[in-house]
Each structure stands twice: as C-alpha cells, then as structure tokens.
C-alpha cells in the first residue's frame, strides 16, 4: 500500500513511496554515471600506455593527457548522465584519439534510438511520445520534448531516404530472407498495409538489411516493386536462395524478377500453420514430429520423416497434412546448401527477431501514420538490430555458391561433379 504521511509544517501529504522511488532513480543514475566515468578513464589510460614510447627528437611524448572536454549530458535508460570526457592530445600527424565508448557527438544512448522507433511502430502517436518516454525514463530527461522528438524522426526519415536510394552496384547475396511485418500504426485510410522486409547474406556471409518498403497486403505488385527497385539499383544477379513463408505474392514476384533464385519455405511459419489445424492435445507431439523432418541429417531421412507424419496424422487431420504437403518441393531446398548454413536458411527468424517487439498486435490504432515515417522508423529499428547480427556459420562457404560448387545434403561434392556448367 502506498505510504502517505501529513507534513505538519505545511499541512501537505508527504508521498514517501515517491520519494523512495526518486531516490532510487537518482542512485541508479549516479551509479551509471560513475561507471561510465571510470570506463572512459580506463580507455584513455590504455591508449596512453599503448603509445607511451612514441616520442619526438627531444624525447617528449607525442601522446599525452590534456585535461577534460566540456561537460555534456548523455540521455540514457538511467536518465540524463553528466559526463566530463578525458581529453587526449595526440601530436602524431594524422592521428586522433576517438573514444569507442562515447563518440564525440553522442547525446543519446543507442537504447534511446531503438526505443523511439519501437514506440512509434507499436502505435504510439507523436503527441503521446513525451508522456510515454517520461514513464519509461523519468521526468528528468531534457531533450525529449515533442518538438525534439519530431526533429529526430525527421532526421531519420532523411537518412532513410538516402539509404533507400543508395547504389547497389556490385552487391551479391547468397541468401535473401523476405517477410511481411504487420504493425499497429495505420497509414491514412489503408488499415491493411504491411512492411515488406528483405535481409540478405553477402558472398562473405555478412547479414545486412537490403530493402524495406510499405506495401498493400503483401501483394505480388508490392513485392515486385521492391525487387525491381533493388535490381535497377544494381543487384543484377538474384540470390542463390530466397527464404520466406507461404505468401504467394513474394514467390510470384521473385519468379518474375529473379527467376533463377531457388526457394525455401520457412519451417517456423509452416509448423505454426500446421499446428493451427490440429487440436491442442496433439500439438506437442505433432510439433516434435515436424521438428524431426527438417532436423534430419539428409534429405532422404527428412522425406522419410515427412512420410511418417502423413501416415500418422493423415486420416484424422486432413487439413493439417494438406498444409504440410503444400509446397513440398520448396521445403527441402536447404539440403542443397552448406550444412553450416542450415540453421540460418530454414527459417525467417532473423526478420522475426528484428521486429519481435512490434510484430504481434491485438488491434489497429485509430490514429493515422505517415508512410514515410513508418518506413523510416522500421528502417531505424532494423539498422539498430543489424549492429548485433553475426555472420553466417561457416561464412567462408558462402562464396562457393558463386563459384558453381555443388552441395548435396550439406556437403560439398568432390571430383568431376564439383563444378556445374
């Protein structure tokens, strides 16, 4: 129960719980501020130590400590932290100390830059941002007024526009993952607009966002528009493999724009669709049976497990089995690619995880959103996620897909069959 006591000097109630919470927030902020200061000091000391033997002709050190920069505020999840960053005077020609912990012009932590687009895509209107952020970060957060947030979002829109017109000449992707993301925010009078997202893995095994575009109901026209735009900007050779769910729009568009690309259906989507057509009492067992299909070590064993599922559930759950049988030829394509890549290319999990905080929704918001703002916020959220994406397992094998090397059951074929014409 909230503890309130009367302040007898002013006849006003004293909210001890609020005082305690404010004090705790202050302690957290002070602790974070001290930790940041210590980390910055250690970073500078390590830099000075690394170049302590570098001297001029008179024996004077060329890399020395030079006081502190002017204090600045850094907006973080712990509130505003006041920081005086150590200054380094590096006299070596063309050299300059750059902090990897706190870049020179950082004013907001990456957490804040991820939080704002996340709130927008969840359906929070710009007029509600200030209240929402105060509830999360506390009231002592200057720089988070409605106008400053609008300015920040406008800046991200400009950055997205530049990114969305970048040259893609010379870009090659071994894999592309495609999915449609349905959000709370509504664009004007179109309540069923989806974000079409494509992520790629380069020939060096590096994952990166390739394209993001708002389209109507994941239609063939919308997907084709995105793929053609990528092609016109330089991706003349399509991916070796495209991974997606069963949405027909994407596959029809892919056949039109990049007909040579092989296709792999997402096993996570497929599993969910199958189980949705079965009673809960058998779903766990059925899920394990499906898992045994795509976790098999060879395509032959996978097809045996596939057939066993049909025989086990075909009589009682015809719709579930029909769902499994649909697009069978695209369920086992991953066996023709390196085994170390299988965990990446059996599903579209990389897109799911990037939008996990905003993907699932319960209802459409009534407020209208800007198409450009929605695309920009989704782009910003995905670019923040991209910073943490790891390379493909066995990344060096991705280049082999462009060298005509053939894989069977995940293993590279040797001898006269190693190359195809």
> Whole-angstrom Cα distance, residue 196 to residue 180?
5
Q: Residue 253 pLDDT more than 80?
A: yes
pLDDT tens string 106-155: 555 545 566 666 666 666 666 666 665 555 555 555 555 666 667 777 88
- How many whole angstroms separate alpha carbon 127 and alpha carbon 231? 39
Indicate whether 405 pLDDT > 90.
Answer: yes
* CA dist list (Å): 388 to 102, 359, 382: 18, 19, 10
Position 34 pLDDT exceeds 80: no
pTM attached to this predicted model: 0.70
Predicted pLDDT at 242: 98
Whole-angstrom Cα distance, residue 59 to residue 57? 6
Report the pLDDT averaged over residues 155-175. Answer: 94
Q: Which residue's entry shows tokens 């592309």?
A: 176
Task: Summarize pLDDT for 266-311 with one digit per residue, the tens.
Answer: 999 999 999 999 999 999 999 999 999 999 999 999 999 999 999 9
pLDDT confidence band for 33 (50 / 70 / 90): low
Burial of 74 (0-12, 13-18, 19+ CB in 10 A): buried
Q: Who's near 133: CB < 8 A, 6+ residues apart?
A: 115, 116, 119, 141, 144, 149
Mean pLDDT for the stretch of residues 217-242: 93
Q: Indicate whether 172 pLDDT > 90.
A: yes
Q: Given this model, what pLDDT does residue 59 score?
A: 85
Q: Chain-wide mean pLDDT for the chain?
A: 80
Q: Tell me how far apart the alpha carbons of residues 158 and 161 are, in angstroms, rounded to a whole number.
A: 5
All structural domains of the chain with their residue ranges: 4-90, 173-408
168: its two tokens:
């893609």
Question: Can you give the pLDDT at residue 70?
Answer: 79
């Amino acid at each position: 129960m909230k503890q309130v006591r009367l302040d007898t000097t002013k006849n006003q109630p004293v909210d001890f719980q609020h005082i305690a919470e404010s004090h705790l927030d202050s302690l957290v902020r002070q602790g974070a501020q001290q930790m940041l200061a210590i980390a910055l000091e250690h970073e500078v000391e390590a830099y000075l130590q690394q170049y302590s033997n570098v001297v001029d002709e008179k024996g004077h050190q060329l890399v020395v400590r030079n006081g502190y920069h002017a204090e600045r505020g850094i907006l973080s999840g712990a509130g505003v932290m006041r920081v005086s960053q150590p200054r380094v005077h590096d006299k070596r020609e063309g050299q300059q100390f750059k902090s990897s912990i706190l870049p020179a012009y950082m004013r907001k932590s990456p957490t804040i830059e991820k939080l704002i687009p996340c709130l927008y895509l969840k359906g929070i209107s710009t007029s509600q941002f200030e209240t929402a952020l105060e509830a999360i970060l506390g009231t002592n957060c200057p720089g988070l007024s409605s106008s400053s947030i609008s300015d920040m979002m406008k800046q991200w829109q400009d950055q997205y526009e530049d990114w969305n017109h970048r040259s893609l000449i010379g870009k090659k992707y071994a894999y592309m993952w495609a999915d449609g993301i349905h959000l709370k925010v509504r664009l004007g009078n179109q309540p069923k607009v989806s974000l079409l997202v494509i992520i790629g893995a380069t020939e060096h095994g590096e994952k990166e966002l390739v394209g993001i575009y708002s389209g109507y109901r994941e239609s063939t026209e919308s997907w084709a528009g995105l793929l053609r735009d990528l092609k016109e900007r330089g991706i003349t050779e399509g991916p070796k493999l495209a991974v997606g769910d069963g949405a027909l729009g994407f596959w029809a568009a892919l056949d039109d724009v990049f007909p040579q690309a092989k296709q792999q259906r997402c096993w996570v989507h497929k599993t969910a669709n199958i189980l949705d057509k079965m009673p809960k009492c058998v779903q766990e067992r059925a899920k394990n049976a499906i898992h045994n299909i795509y976790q098999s070590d060879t395509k032959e064993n996978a097809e045996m497990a596939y057939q066993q599922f049909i025989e086990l559930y075909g009589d009682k759950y015809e719709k579930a089995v029909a769902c499994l049988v649909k697009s069978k030829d695209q369920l086992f394509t991953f066996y023709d690619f390196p085994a170390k890549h299988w965990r990446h290319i059996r599903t579209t999990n990389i897109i799911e995880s990037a939008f996990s905080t905003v993907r699932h929704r319960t209802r459409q918001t009534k407020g209208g959103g800007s198409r450009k703002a929605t695309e920009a916020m989704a782009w910003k959220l995905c670019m923040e996620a991209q910073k943490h994406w790891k390379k493909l397992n066995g990344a060096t094998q991705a280049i082999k897909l462009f060298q005509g090397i053939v894989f069977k059951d995940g293993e590279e074929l040797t001898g006269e069959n190693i190359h195809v014409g």
